[in-house]
């Protein structure tokens, strides 16, 4: 089961809908070359920008506080076998809320949607503060997903769009770099659980809501209602499409979350919701294209934009899969293969988190500043940087105890988005990471940092590209659709890859038992020994009757090999998704 690094919290926010959108005066990326008109930003507008920035940082902070320490939260409030639903529930609710928020904000304007989103995030933090079990934490996560409405920065002139995006990325540095260590939950018992990070989230939410209420005044009414009243526009909203889309997404994502874990892949408990979900999504597409009087997804979003907006959605979906898979499993890989302590895991997350934020900042500073820095070109540059961090193949020789680790990919950081790279190299081009030696931790951190630099750059470029590709009246729906597609990709990635890891443990359990029996381990201690090692209860494992240093060492080696095999499956699966996206693009 996957534990998420602070870099993933950046994903969790940027990719699930905290997108900053401004009105644009052109509908293609070439608008970057248009002469910039100088605008003076007033004091009130600066205060509104601060409110938006604080809201953005607050949502990121909540993601960093929870997602980075899912396993530790489970150890403190559980343990359970379903703690990964703290991630899945948030992704599912944010996925269904983003397009709905887009349609409604286009009707009513964005001010109250931002405020209401902040209130839901505040409620989520309060529920998390009061949580006494994992079920309550899952509920808090679900409420937080509903609060991921768009923060729409229409106050910023077009020529400052990239700069503001980059500056907002810098605000994430404290959480992206030090999120794990600053938000660790004590796992010695519920009474000692550290709620400081949740309290910080509550304070930040309250301040951001107050500032937004006082200073954030975007256009009062959306641009899509025309001559209709708000009530008429609300009544004529494509509620049939909303039902089909949300029902289909919920069933599809829940099915993936249940498959291979709660139910076998061939069980009706997986097949039924999966098939019904896919059918409902297909019906939604047909309904929107042929029958809806007021389509939920405006046809103008896609008409004549096959190589712009539509293609960006394809890249965005793969971005969600790659980025979520990348950062979601970095901490788990560090703990499983390198046996890193929670503090060391936090330290290992610092380079990737910092480079992701720095990459986004420099992208924002440079986009549109030269004809070679147009948004669409910057998107290519970001992909190229990620490719640089992932393209080389290595032939290394590990200790024979780790022979099955030779295909583990630290290419996770942004590798799936590097679709051009994937098309040019087969899956053997997965980079390799070893527990020690020349391709151990330092080497893995260096390559991962380069890839995350490109990841942060790509995210900002993708947001700006989409803003330039849609009409003014569709900015809300278009940008939130971007966030929704990314969230779907991320949810699919997390659930499938988590299932692959868990199923691998089930498949390898017999091999682990045989290896332990070979070194003289009593049969009755094998299960508690392995479970305690997986949960990092090393003192309890050592104290089990009949456990010798030789048995303990063999158990650790067997688990490292099993983790390596699991990640091998995960990243080859990720590579196949990336190759499919390249063919589609």
Q: What is the DSSP string of 211-265?
A: HHHHH----SS-SS-TTS-HHHHHHTS-HHHHHHHHHHHHHHHHHHHHBTTTB-T
Dump pLDDT digits (tens) for 321-364.
766 655 567 777 777 777 667 677 778 878 877 887 788 788 87
Range 262-277 average pLDDT: 89
Report pLDDT for 156: 59
Confidence bin at 426 (pLDDT 50/70/90): very low
C-alpha 376/C-alpha 372 separation (Å) is: 10
Per-residue DSSP letters for 363-419?
A: HHHHTTSSGGG-HHHHHHHHHHHHHHTT---------GGGGGGTT--GGGTTTTT-H
* Burial of residue 394, with CB atoms counted within 10 A of its CB: 0-12 exposed, 13-18 middle, 19 or more buried: middle
Q: Are 277 and 515 in contact (CB under 8 A)?
A: no
Range 184-193 average pLDDT: 43
The two tokens of residue 7 are: 């870099």
Fold entry, domain 6-237+294-506+567-584: Growth Hormone; Chain: A; (1.20.1250)
- Residue 27 reports pLDDT greater than 50: no
Range 512-534 average pLDDT: 88
Confidence bin at 31 (pLDDT 50/70/90): very low
- Residue 132 reports pLDDT greater than 90: no
Crossing angle of the two packed helices 43-67 and 161-170, in degrees rounded to 10: 40
Query: How many C-beta atoms lie closer than 10 Å to residue 490's C-beta?
Result: 28
Range 450-466 average pLDDT: 77
C-alpha 578/C-alpha 322 separation (Å) is: 8
Q: Which residue has the higher pLDDT, 171 or 402?
A: 171
Max avg pLDDT among 145-159, 212-226, 492-506: 492-506
Max avg pLDDT among 375-384, 392-401, 544-553: 544-553
- Residue 573 reports pLDDT greater than 60: yes
Lowest mean pLDDT among 99-108, 308-317, 482-491: 99-108
- Residue 95 reports pLDDT greater than 50: yes
Tell me the percentage of the chain whose pLDDT exceeds 90: 5
Range 365-380 average pLDDT: 78
Q: What is the DSSP letter of 42?
A: P
Report pLDDT for 102: 64
Decide: helix, strand or coil at residue 151: strand
Query: CA separation (Å) from 539 to 8, 75, 338, 552, 559?
Result: 30, 15, 18, 11, 17
Report pLDDT for 11: 39
Query: CA separation (Å) from 20 to 154, 201, 288, 428?
Result: 9, 20, 26, 38
The distance in angstroms from the start CA to the end CA of the chain is 32
Dump pLDDT digits (tens) for 226-243.
677 778 878 887 888 888
- Residue 151 reports pLDDT greater than 60: no
* Burial of residue 403, with CB atoms counted within 10 A of its CB: 0-12 exposed, 13-18 middle, 19 or more buried: exposed
CA 483 to chain centre: 10
Report pLDDT for 434: 62
Q: Are 102 and 150 in contact (CB under 8 A)?
A: yes
Q: Which residues contact 203 (CB under 8 A, 6 or more apart)?
A: none
Range 248-275 average pLDDT: 84
Max avg pLDDT among 6-10, 199-203, 368-372: 199-203
> SS3 for 291-325, per residue?
HCCCCCCCHHHCCCCCCCHHHHHHHHHHHHHHHHH
Report pLDDT for 357: 78
Range 56-84 average pLDDT: 73
Residue keyed to tokens 């290595």: 394
Range 127-136 average pLDDT: 88
- Residue 318 reports pLDDT greater than 70: yes
Confidence bin at 282 (pLDDT 50/70/90): very high
Q: What is the DSSP letter of 289?
A: I
Q: Which residue has the higher pLDDT, 29 or 48?
A: 48
Report pLDDT for 13: 40
Report pLDDT for 64: 66
Range 301-317 average pLDDT: 80
Mean pLDDT of the chain: 71
- Residue 500 reports pLDDT greater than 70: yes
Please state the domain extents for the chain: 6-237+294-506+567-584, 238-293
C-alpha 583/C-alpha 548 separation (Å) is: 53
Report pLDDT for 114: 79
Max avg pLDDT among 166-180, 374-388, 400-414, 457-471: 457-471
User: What is the CA angle 427-431-434, rounded to 5?
Assistant: 130
List 259's β-bridge partners, or say none: 263
Report pLDDT for 164: 67
Report pLDDT for 158: 56
C-alpha 493/C-alpha 282 separation (Å) is: 21
Q: Which residue has the higher pLDDT, 306 or 23?
A: 306
Give the residue from 26, 48, 28, 29 showing the smallest Cα distance to 37. Answer: 26
Decide: helix, strand or coil at residue 48: helix
Tell me the percentage of the chain whose pLDDT exceeds 70: 65
Neighbouring C-alpha atoms within 13 Å toward the C-beta of 93: 21
Positive/negative CA dihedral, 69, 73, 76, 79: negative
Q: Which residue has the higher pLDDT, 405 or 439?
A: 439
- Residue 583 reports pLDDT greater than 70: no
pTM: 0.67
Give the residue from 101, 22, 18, 15 showing the smallest Cα distance to 470. Answer: 22
Lowest mean pLDDT among 388-397, 449-458, 506-515, 554-563: 388-397
- Residue 528 reports pLDDT greater than 80: yes
> SS3 for 441-499, per residue?
HHHHHHHHHHHHHHHHHHHHHHHHHHHHHCCHHHHHHHHHHHHHHHHHHHHHHHHHHHH
Report pLDDT for 278: 93
């Amino acid at each position: 089961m996957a534990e998420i690094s602070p870099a993933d919290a950046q994903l969790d926010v940027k990719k699930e809908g905290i997108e900053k959108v401004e009105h644009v005066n052109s509908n293609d990326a070439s608008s970057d070359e248009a002469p910039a008109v100088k605008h003076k930003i007033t004091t009130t507008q600066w205060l509104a920008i601060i409110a938006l920035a604080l809201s953005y940082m607050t949502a990121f902070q909540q993601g960093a506080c929870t997602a980075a320490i899912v396993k530790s939260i489970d150890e403190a409030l559980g343990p359970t076998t379903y703690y990964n639903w703290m991630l899945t529930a948030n992704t599912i609710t944010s996925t269904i809320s983003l397009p709905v928020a887009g349609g409604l904000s286009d009707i009513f304007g964005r001010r109250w949607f931002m405020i209401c989103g902040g209130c839901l995030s505040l409620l989520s933090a309060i529920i998390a503060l009061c949580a006494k079990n994992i079920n309550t934490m899952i509920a808090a996560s679900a409420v937080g997903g509903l609060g991921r409405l768009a923060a729409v920065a229409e106050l910023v002139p077009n020529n400052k769009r990239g700069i503001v995006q980059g500056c907002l990325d810098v605000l994430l540095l404290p959480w992206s770099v030090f999120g794990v260590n600053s938000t660790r939950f004590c796992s010695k018992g519920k009474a000692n659980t550290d709620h400081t990070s949740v309290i910080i989230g509550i304070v930040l939410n309250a301040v951001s809501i107050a500032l937004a209420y006082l200073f954030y005044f975007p256009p009062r009414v959306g641009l899509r209602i025309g001559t209709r009243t708000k009530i008429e526009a609300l009544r004529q909203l494509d509620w049939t499409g909303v039902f089909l889309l949300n029902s289909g997404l919920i069933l599809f994502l829940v099915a993936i979350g249940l498959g291979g874990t709660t139910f076998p892949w061939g069980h009706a408990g997986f097949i039924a919701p999966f098939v019904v979900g896919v059918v409902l999504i297909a019906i939604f597409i047909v309904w929107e294209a042929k029958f809806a009087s007021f389509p939920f997804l405006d046809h103008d979003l896609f008409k004549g934009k096959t190589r712009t907006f539509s293609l960006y959605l394809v890249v965005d979906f793969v971005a969600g899969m790659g980025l979520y898979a990348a950062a979601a499993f970095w901490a788990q890989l560090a703990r499983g293969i390198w046996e890193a302590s929670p503090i060391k895991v936090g330290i290992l997350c610092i380079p990737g988190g910092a480079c992701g934020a720095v990459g986004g900042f420099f992208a924002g500073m440079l986009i549109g500043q030269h004809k070679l820095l147009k948004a669409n070109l910057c998107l290519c540059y970001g992909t190229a940087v990620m490719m640089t961090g992932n393209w080389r193949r290595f032939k290394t020789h590990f200790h024979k105890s780790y022979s099955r680790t030779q295909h583990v990919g630290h290419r996770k950081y942004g590798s799936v988005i590097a679709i051009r790279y994937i098309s040019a190299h087969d899956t053997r081009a997965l980079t390799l990471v070893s527990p020690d030696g020349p391709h151990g931790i330092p080497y893995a951190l260096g390559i991962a940092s380069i890839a995350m630099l490109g990841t942060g750059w790509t995210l900002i470029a993708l947001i700006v590209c989409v803003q330039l590709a849609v009409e003014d009246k569709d900015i809300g729906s278009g940008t939130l659709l971007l966030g929704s597609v990314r969230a779907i990709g991320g949810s699919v990635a997390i659930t499938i890859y988590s299932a692959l890891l868990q199923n691998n443990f089930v498949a390898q359990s017999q091999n682990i038992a045989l290896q332990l029996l070979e070194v003289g381990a009593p049969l009755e201690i094998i299960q508690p020994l392995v479970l305690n090692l997986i949960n990092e209860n090393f003192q309890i494992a050592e104290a089990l009757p009949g456990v010798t240093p030789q048995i303990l060492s063999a158990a650790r080696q067997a688990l490292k090999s099993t983790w390596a095999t699991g990640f091998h499956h995960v990243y080859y699966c990720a590579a196949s998704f990336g190759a499919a996206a390249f063919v589609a693009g």
